[in-house]
Amino acid sequence: MSTYRGSARATVLRTRTVGTRERRSHLSAPRVPTVGIDIGGTKVMAGVVDADGVILETLRTETPDKSKSPKVVEDTITELVLDLSDRHDVHAVGIGAAGWVDAERNRVLFAPHLAWRDEPLRDRLSGRLAVPVMVDNDANAAAWAEWRFGAGRGEDHLVMITLGTGIGGAILEDGQVKRGKFGVAGEFGHMQVVPGGHRCPCGNRGCWEQYSSGNALVREARELAAADSPVAYGIIDRVGGNISDITGPLITELARDGDAMCVELLQDIGQWLGVGIANLAAALDPSCFVIGGGVSAADDLLIGPARDAFRRQLTGRGYRPEARIAKAQLGPEAGMVGAADLARLVARRFRRANRRRVERYERYAQANRATRTTQGLQ
């Protein structure tokens, strides 16, 4: 990673971003390259993305340990942006953070995997970077990317479900992300589906993500292996008896190879996914559900059972239109691409602010020339 060397960064005029709410249409946003940052519990990924959602360059680094100060993570973000700015004309930076972001998209109220508690991330980074900064929840950013460039194109009411360690989500309606009054809408993973069920790290019991997520998948496989169940012999042999080596990707791989237990576990996860989606359909009535996140790599081993359970659980089934359920298309880069594209909506203001500043300078210069000419004639 390069260090600061002066370069073209210094030629970018600094400006203060006033508000970050996107306008009704994204079509008038400037077609300029922006940087998207996706911050997770294990990695920070940064990329330059053009106006068509094409990734021009990416950089990855490990996420600093969560016990360190928030400034350490902010230092990492700054270095990545400055490194990319050496090779690209960056107009704005969008950050997708795994946590709760306030309605003004400035503060990270809470991040479960990082030491951010009411952290004014946008303001801190805006003071260090020569471009405007936009902060949003990572699931919101991923949903925006899928709506603009992926599986949700053409949909006017979209809900995205991200299946990873837990469950994240986002709601898009008529081209706008619905964040709720306080900015934390879309935390679908913490809907209670089993009263008194498995304890969730959020403090409650029976949350949806305890039954349909990467953690749930791995927990069930490890419990069967620890019990020395005959159905688990295949995966036990694969990890050499080291139960802690059982992971979600391994379960998916074995399921694709026909391991009966792994196939059944993915079916269980998929059925719970369908139950939750049916609940969301009753509340939100979208036209499309997009399923993303690492667990969605299981494809129809997961999404097939989810569709079946959705049809069985849907309120008014047989008498209402059914929402389409589609797998996300943009993969692990969705959050980065979405954050970058959302940042273009801020870059619009930045470019206009620069243009007004240039116009003022030109008028000032013309006035000075006119004054000098008049004085010379006198």
- Give the number of other Cβ atoms within 10 Å of residue 210's Cβ: 26
pLDDT tens profile 208-227: 999 999 999 999 999 999 99
CA 68 to chain centre: 23
- Residue 344 and residue 236 share a domain: no
- Residue 170 and residue 296 share a domain: yes
Total number of domains in the chain: 2
pLDDT at 4: 31
User: What phi-psi label fits residue 40: left (phi over 0), alpha (psi between -120 and 50 degrees) or beta?
Assistant: beta
Q: What is the CATH number of the domain that holds 195?
A: 3.30.420.40
Q: Of 71, 68, 86, give the one whose Cα is nearest residue 9.
A: 86
- Residue 218 and residue 312 share a domain: yes
Specify if 18 maps to a domain: no
**Half-sphere exposure for 232 (CA within 13 Å, toward CB):** 20
Specify if 22 maps to a domain: no
Which of 2-11, 343-352, 354-363 has the highest average model confidence (pLDDT)? 343-352
Specify if 180 maps to a domain: yes
pLDDT at 215: 92
Does residue 241 carry a pLDDT above 80?
A: yes
User: Please, what is the average pLDDT of the chain?
Assistant: 84
- Residue 283 and residue 197 share a domain: yes
- Residue 319 and residue 179 share a domain: yes
Supply the pTM of this predicted model. Answer: 0.80
User: What phi-psi label fits residue 258: left (phi over 0), alpha (psi between -120 and 50 degrees) or beta?
Assistant: left
In the chain, the amino acid numbered 273 is L
pLDDT tens profile 156-187: 999 999 998 889 899 999 888 998 888 889 98
pLDDT tens profile 70-103: 888 888 899 999 999 889 988 999 999 888 888 8
Higher-scoring residue by pLDDT: 189, 367: 189
Helices and strands, number each (H, E), in the chain: 9, 13
Range of the domain at 216: 156-328
pLDDT at 39: 86
Mean pLDDT computed over 113-138: 86
- Residue 235 and residue 106 share a domain: no
What is the percentage of the chain residues whose pLDDT exceeds 70?
83
Question: Could you write out the DSSP letters of every residue in 287-354?
Answer: SEEEEESGGGGGTHHHHHHHHHHHHHH-TTTTSSPPPEEEE-SSGGGHHHHHHHHHHHHHHHHHHHHH
- Residue 210 and residue 128 share a domain: no
